[in-house]
Structure 1
Amino acid sequence: MMKRLYDWTMSLSAHPNALWALAFVAFIESSVFPIPPDLLMIPMIIAAPHRAFLIATVCLSASVLGGLLGYAIGALAFDWLGQPILEALGKADRIAEFNQRFNDLGFWAVLVAGITPFPYKVITIMSGWTGMPLGTFIITSIIARGLRFFVIAGLLWKFGEPIRDFIERRLGLVFTVFLALLIGGFLLVRYI
């Protein structure tokens, strides 16, 4: 089933209404869909590099709006909708543990999930369920998703097809290492 979803998502990049398809995928990926919008965004930018930042803007806007849907699922429908989604993603066993620490991390949890390969939809649902302040959630989502999509757009705009393999295979790791260093730097400054 995942292969079919992946193939379907990739086929949308060549569709005449690809920008709308990207908005749809970015929106639903933020709350329920398992395939990240990057997979659709990358071939779209390679095909039309002059539209790289428009494509990233559409992806960012739709992703944050979809994140609000995930937040609403967590806040208003966690028991009958949010929890089954997290169970399908294999994250249900960590819900109680996660809830205890989540709001203490708030900003950082959303930032990490918005940038790294960690499923953003898990964080959107958990943000609503734990009652994270909506303003914090929105601002952090804009920063995180903006960083992710605009870095990809910028790299593809500048380097084109040769950078594609790096983005698809290693950019998630680079973002993860960057965040670890950033958080480590803040902790170092705080305790010195």
Structure 2
Amino acid sequence: MKLFKPLYERAMKWSQHPKAEPLLAVLSFVEAIIFPVMPEVMLGPMVLARPHRWARFASVSLVFSVIGALVGYALGHYAFEWVRPLLDSLGWLERIDVQVAELREIASQSPWSAFWLLVVAGFLPIPLKIFTWASGIVGVPLLPFVASMIVGRGKRVYLLAGVIRIAGPKAEAALHRWIEWIGWAMLGVLAIAIVYLKFIR
């Protein structure tokens, strides 16, 4: 079943839309809070369509991802208590509390311990919102949090945009050919991470 190739082809069409840049900004902002689709899915085709604007597109995605990350942080910090009864009814609360305590201990050792943890986590193909909410729940200091979001998301969007700018049509051909494998591989990594966190740790 082909799932990612049609999405990629649709993203290519959106990338040539007159309002592609605002759409990228909205996607980057919402993905950092709740949306499951990473903005790189749209950023890549946009750079392919207009390679001379690669740095501008990457900057737009980064800025709005950081703004969205701050909203996700606030929701994690203030809304977690509201959903605790639901998590408790599902039997998840005790495990979550243990993991939050572990993360809080790491953050309390040094404000910048959390920075490096989040920067390393940024290499994983996992939606940004997981880290923004978790940071808010734990109470990671804002300065290291914002710095980690800039470095973590920045390296991804600028690296992707820069590589596509240099490779040009060859990158588009490779993406078009391998997008299904890449998409399913990313889902596989995410599934393994969820199973590990839920059943093995």
TM-score (structure 2 length as normaliser): 0.70
> Which protein has greater RCO, CA pairs closer than 8 Å, 6+ apart?
2
Alpha-carbon deviation of 1:25?
0.2
Of the structure 1 ranges 11-20 and 58-67, higher mean CA displacement relative to structure 2 is found in: 11-20
Q: What is the rounded CA distance, in whole Å, between the counterparts of 1:100 and 1:34 in structure 2?
A: 26
CA 1:49–1:83: 2 relative to 1, 3 Å: farther
Give the letter for the 1:71 counterpart: Y
| Aligned 8 A contact 1:109 1:123 in 2 | no
Counting only pairs closer than 5 Å after superposition, residues 178-189 of structure 1 correspond to structure 2 as none
Q: Residue 130 of structure 1 aligns with which residue?
A: 138
Alpha-carbon deviation of 1:81?
6.1
Counting only pairs closer than 5 Å after superposition, residues 15-30 of structure 1 correspond to structure 2 as 15-30=17-32
Counting only pairs closer than 5 Å after superposition, residues 1-192 of structure 1 correspond to structure 2 as 7=7, 10=11, 11-80=13-82, 95-103=96-104, 104=106, 105-164=113-172, 165=174, 169=182
In our comparison, the structure showing a higher alpha carbon Rg is 2
CA 1:163–1:93: 2 relative to 1, 3 Å: farther
Helix, strand or coil at the partner of 2:122? helix
Q: What is the rounded CA distance, in whole Å, between the counterparts of 1:136 and 1:154 in structure 2?
A: 26
| Aligned 8 A contact 1:56 1:149 in 2 | yes
| Aligned 8 A contact 1:82 1:125 in 2 | no
Alpha-carbon deviation of 1:83?
9.6
RMSD of aligned residue pairs (Cα, Å): 3.3
Gaps of 5+ in 1: 85-90, 177-192
Alpha-carbon deviation of 1:101?
2.7
Residues 47-80 of structure 1: CA deviation (Å, up to 9, x unaligned):
0000001000000000011000100001111233
Q: Residue 186 of structure 1 aligns with which residue?
A: none
Gaps of 5+ in 2: 87-91, 107-112, 190-201
Helix, strand or coil at the partner of 1:77? helix
Residues 147-173 of structure 1: CA deviation (Å, up to 9, x unaligned):
000000110110013234469639x98
TM-score (structure 1 length as normaliser): 0.73
| Aligned 8 A contact 2:55 2:161 in 1 | yes
CA 1:126–1:46: 2 relative to 1, 3 Å: same
